[in-house]
Copies of this chain bind each other. A is one copy, B any other.
């Protein structure tokens, strides 16, 4: 179940990379690289700064197969990918929920301060997209008034609050669901962070 959700998230991140790269008119090779970086960038950065090397996707070849498969799928169906946008959005949202909690737990396993664990969770979920945007010569979208990383932060905080009352498994699931819920509500009701430039 856990693994299945992980793969769904990887697919969603990979396809989001393909879409951005095709927008920049990259060639097939560039598209697959961007898909790869989007899917594994956040976890790679987390593992590198905490010293968990070789980084996680090197230890299980499945991720590589999934990313290459998803990329080819998205390239072949490029004219029809718009019909999949809702599904992709859902996968991506499930992905950040899962990645956040996985990152938080890696921090706990390393004995880090709770704030750093929450930061690691957010890095895991969000920095694939940040590196994708840097490679595509854009200012990362998550820095521009959208509830995305904020959902991860709230989920990370929830994890530590909930862990006082619940077992690890329940904490894991509910914190992940909080990330997903916050993100879905923010998009549905078009909620953004307050605009500090108008205050």
A: residues with CB less than 8 A from B are 21-22, 24-31, 33-34, 44, 47-51, 53-55, 58, 61, 64, 75, 78, 110, 112-113, 115-116, 119, 130, 134-140, 142-146, 149-150, 153, 192-197
Quick one: given A49-B44, A54-B49, A61-B113, are A135 and B130 in contact (CB under 8 Å)?
yes
Add 20 more A-B contacts to A28-B194, A29-B143, A30-B140 (CB < 8 A). A21-B143, A22-B196, A27-B144, A27-B192, A28-B193, A29-B142, A29-B153, A29-B193, A30-B144, A34-B143, A49-B55, A50-B54, A50-B55, A50-B58, A51-B51, A54-B112, A64-B119, A78-B196, A134-B134, A136-B139
Bound-state CA distance A87–B81 (Å) is 45
CB pair B150–A140 under 8 Å, yes or no, is: no
Would you mind naming 8 contact pairs between A and B with Cβ atoms under 8 Å apart?
Answer: A25-B197, A27-B143, A27-B144, A27-B146, A29-B193, A30-B143, A54-B110, A137-B139
CB pair A75–B134 under 8 Å, yes or no, is: no
Bound-state CA distance A150–B119 (Å) is 33
Residues of B with C-beta under 8 A to A196: 22, 27-28, 31, 75, 78
